[in-house]
Amino acid sequence: MTLPSVSPTGKRVVGVGSAVMSAGAALLYCASYVDPYTALATGVASLVVGGTTLLCGTRYVIRGRIRLANGQDHAGVLVTLSGSAAATATTGVGATFSFNVTAGGNYVVTPTLAHHVFTPASRPFNNLRSDQDAPFRSDRGNYAIHGQVTRDGNPLDGVRMTISGNSRQHANTNAGAYHIPLPAFGNYTVTPTLAQYTFAPASRSIVSLTQDQALDFVATLVTYRIHGRFTLDGGGVDGIQVHLNGDQEAEVATAGGGYYEFNVSALGSYTVSGRRTRYDYDRRNAAVDGITADTQVDFIATVRTFTLRCELKLSGQPLGGVPVRIAGGGIDSNLPTDADGARQQVVPAGEDYRVTLASPHHTFAPDQADVRAIDRNKTVTIQATLLRHTISGRVTGVAAAGLDGIKVRCSVFSKTREVTTAGGGLFTFSNVPSGHDGRVRVNDGHFDSNPADVAIAGIAADRNNVNFVLTRRTFTISGALTINGAAPAATPVDLFLNGVLVATVNSGLGGAFDFGARPSDGAYTVKPRRTATLTFHPFREVIDDLLVNHVTAVFAGTRIHHGNRLTTPAGDLILSFEARSNIAGQRGADHAIPLDVLADAAGRALGSPSNDRRGGYYFPITGTDVFLAFILNADSGHTLFTCYEKTRRGVETDIGRTGAVFDAWVAGRYHLRQFTGGEDL
């Protein structure tokens, strides 16, 4: 066969020698090669025959042993020769391998076995000039257990990741991640730990680690209890709303004797407080910061109170004395408004209350007021309207006949009203204010009333049939008279009622007279009877309305003397005249009486009379016509005169004064009247 001019290692052939060897059926021809740089024969060619490499020239051995880290032989490792020659070998008993290689070649020996690493990973042999030893240490290969630890979806730092099993290691998470290399084929358990946290799962295990494994965990903060009790006067109070604020928020109501409980995450900061709707507490709230254990927080409650006030007004003014009921929150109180129209009640906070008023004398707007969950001092204002009623009745006489024209009075509170009966004795008081005491009575002094009055306590409704029966009252009329200063007996005295003679009595001893009881039903006139020689002063006494027992003034009688000269009992000159005519039966008529002179007691002329058109005489004193009567009485030496004015109704009114001298009279024309028997002066 022909050899190539260049060897497999790139050497140029420089000379050819020959040798013959028997190798089965094949002949191998060897040739020397010359290194192009040294011009030395450094190698021989080779030929593979029947799967066997046949070398020509100098030969060396590369051998080695593979042992585990613990020094034990590692059989079954595949060792690969590469470089100037290629070959493989597998370690067996004793864990050895060897390669026969041609001198001068470059070789690399590399052990390989799944899930293992070798130290060194390979060994190179360049320009081989001798046998070489290639030992290796075998270690199981490393795979990583890695993953993420999160809380609420966020990375959690500082978690200690502990490896147990065939290896014990630990690492802390960084940005929530961890990465731990471990020898292959090991059985491992990964357990995360961090104070105040639990993890899901609590741990994870790997059997025979043969590849990288991702193991994730979810962290949850440990749960603790914030719990306690609300007490009032040593006893638990149920139903208080308890608030939790901070890293968590919640609300529960105390129960089972005032107890409450919150489940909270560890390390959180929280405040606990009770709703102050009804209670105040020994502290406004309690802070629990960075909780790391169950914590008890108790509160002592005191009942919180407010003032619920009702103000009642009537026509804008306070109305007192009206019952106001306040009910709710365990309170049911009914008390009247005070003088300021107010009624107030201290009530527990947080409760519902109803304010109602009841009075038979008023209506109210609103008729009730509701206060829900009272949380401050509260005032409700209610307007009252006073009810009005009617009081009516009838006034009758003893014969049951209605009496009209009778005055009836109704007094309510501080006001009095008066009406007059009509239509058969009927009367009505309308628009009478409710709620006050009233009194109704007949206001007529001429009658006795049965009943005397009717009292109505606390008028609360219309009142009918307030009836009265009247009996006319009687009073006595009595008096006395004298004649010339003495007390005569058996002198007649007449009694007129409304101008009609109703009785005549004679004076008794001492000049007294008495008409007895007389009904009070008109005007009475008392007149002593005059004669031709007897006149009285006053000549009558009028009782306009007999409402009491009446005693008249003393009637002073004087006997009259006729003649041209009238003198007093002491002989004083009164008047010189003579009667020229006497027209009998003409009562009150003027008579022509010639007068010589009108003089005083000393005889001084007081005036000269003039004749009027009717034949009478008068003294020219300008003024009202006044009739002049002469009465024989003396007083302090002066002539006594009595003057009577003639009115349009024909009633004579005494306007003079006894004892007055002429020049002291009032202006007027003074007529003389004839003194004849029975004449009224």
Residue 573 or 355, more confident: 355
- Residues 269, 351: one domain? no
pLDDT recorded at residue 233: 93
pLDDT recorded at residue 368: 93
Residue 81 or 27, more confident: 81
Q: How far apart are CA 531 and CA 569, in angstroms?
A: 19
- Confidence band of 560 (pLDDT split at 50, 70, 90): low
pLDDT recorded at residue 498: 84
Report which DSSP code applies to 337.
-
pLDDT per residue as tens digits for the range 226-268 = 999 999 999 999 999 999 999 999 999 999 999 999 999 999 9
- Residues 289, 275: one domain? yes
Residue 654 or 536, more confident: 536
Q: Phi and psi at residue 342, in whole multiples of 5°? A: -115, 150
Report which DSSP code applies to 30.
-
Is there a contact between 291 and 270 (Cβ–Cβ < 8 Å)? yes
pLDDT recorded at residue 28: 36
Residue 26 lies in domain: 12-55
Residue at 4 is within a domain: no
Domains in the chain, number: 8
**468: burial class by Cβ within 10 Å (0-12, 13-18, 19+)?**
buried
Does residue 30 have a pLDDT over 60?
Answer: no
- Residues 34, 63: one domain? no
pLDDT recorded at residue 256: 96
pLDDT recorded at residue 51: 53
Q: How far is CA 429 from CA 144, 314, 362, 407, in A?
A: 113, 23, 19, 12
- Residues 120, 211: one domain? no
- Residues 192, 217: one domain? yes
Residue at 677 is within a domain: no
- Residues 483, 552: one domain? yes
SS3 content of the chain, % helix, strand, coil (to 5): 0, 55, 45
- Confidence band of 532 (pLDDT split at 50, 70, 90): low
Residue at 179 is within a domain: yes
pLDDT per residue as tens digits for the range 638-680 = 333 333 333 333 333 343 433 333 333 333 333 333 333 333 3
Domain boundary among 255, 287, 303: 303
Residue at 211 is within a domain: yes
Read off the amino acid at residue 100: N
Residues composing the chain: 681
- Residues 344, 357: one domain? yes
pLDDT recorded at residue 168: 93
Is there a contact between 258 and 222 (Cβ–Cβ < 8 Å)? no
Does residue 509 have a pLDDT over 90?
Answer: no
Residue at 240 is within a domain: yes
- Residues 406, 353: one domain? no
Count of beta carbons in the 10 Å neighbourhood of residue 165: 15
pLDDT recorded at residue 627: 34
Half-sphere exposure (Cβ direction) of 87: Cα atoms closer than 13 Å: 18
Mean pLDDT of 357-381: 93
Mean pLDDT of 479-502: 86
- Residues 287, 246: one domain? yes
Read off the amino acid at residue 108: V
Residue 219 or 578, more confident: 219
- Residues 568, 551: one domain? no
- Name the percent of the chain lying above pLDDT 90: 60
Q: How far apart are CA 81 and CA 109, in angstroms?
A: 5
Q: Phi and psi at residue 663, in whole multiples of 5°? A: -75, 0
pLDDT per residue as tens digits for the range 100-159 = 999 999 999 999 998 889 999 999 999 999 999 999 999 888 899 999 999 999 999 999
Domain boundary among 386, 404, 424: 386
Residue at 3 is within a domain: no
- Residues 507, 530: one domain? yes
Domain boundary among 140, 156, 181: 140
pTM here is 0.45
- Residues 202, 104: one domain? no
CATH of the domain at 493: 2.60.40.10
Mean pLDDT of 315-329: 93
3-state secondary structure 271-307: EEEECCCCEEECCCCEEECCCCCCEECCEEEEECEEE
3-class DSSP state for residue 452? coil
Helix (H) or strand (E) holding 324: strand 323-328
CATH of the domain at 337: 2.60.40.1120
Does residue 274 have a pLDDT over 90?
Answer: yes
- Confidence band of 377 (pLDDT split at 50, 70, 90): very high
pLDDT per residue as tens digits for the range 340-367 = 999 999 999 888 999 999 888 999 999 9
pLDDT recorded at residue 245: 96
